[in-house]
A = this chain, B = another copy of it.
Amino acid sequence: MPELRFPSPPATKTELEEGNEFTPRFDSQGLITAVVTDAEDGALLMVAHMNAEALAKTLETGIAHYWSRSRSTLWKKGETSGNVQHVVEIRTDCDQDALQLSVRVAGDGATCHTGRRSCFYRNVSLEGGRPILTENG
């Protein structure tokens, strides 16, 4: 099967924001931000990036693929750990430069490589005028 291709953004803001053509706006490095939330309760699990290939594979297979910026490679999330992400829904934002993936996580349900369910496990707060982190949940 030939890989999906994504058209260039339209000429007008109205088409971009109100149209029904999906024209993802990849940045200068060819990446788009993907916000990953749990399909069950909406919890924020992770933030990752996709290039056109990762996005195409995600749409075609229903399994989340990303671009690993640290390893410069296509990354099928959970391939090693078993915590594969089954995509329930994909959304895009008004100017089509960000995506939301609503997913069901397989395996033991951990999304973070530290073993936690979510990568967002620490709160930022000010203590004596200085920002500190404390673990949540």
Which residues of chain A from 62 to 84 have any CB-CB distance to chain B below 8 Å in the complex?
Answer: none
A132 in contact with B93 (CB, 8 Å): no
Cα(A130)–Cα(B4), bound, Å: 7
B44 in contact with A100 (CB, 8 Å): yes
Give this chain's copy count: 2
B92 in contact with A120 (CB, 8 Å): yes
Residue of B nearest to A41 (CB): B42
Residue of B nearest to A62 (CB): B126
Whether A94 is near chain B, meaning CB under 8 Å from some CB there, is yes
Chain A residues touching B, range: 35 or more
A20 to chain B: which residues have CB within 8 Å? 122, 132-134
- The contact sample of 18 A-B pairs, CB cut-off 8 A, is A17-B114, A19-B133, A20-B132, A22-B124, A35-B47, A46-B93, A47-B93, A60-B126, A91-B122, A91-B123, A91-B124, A93-B112, A93-B119, A93-B120, A94-B113, A94-B116, A99-B124, A100-B120
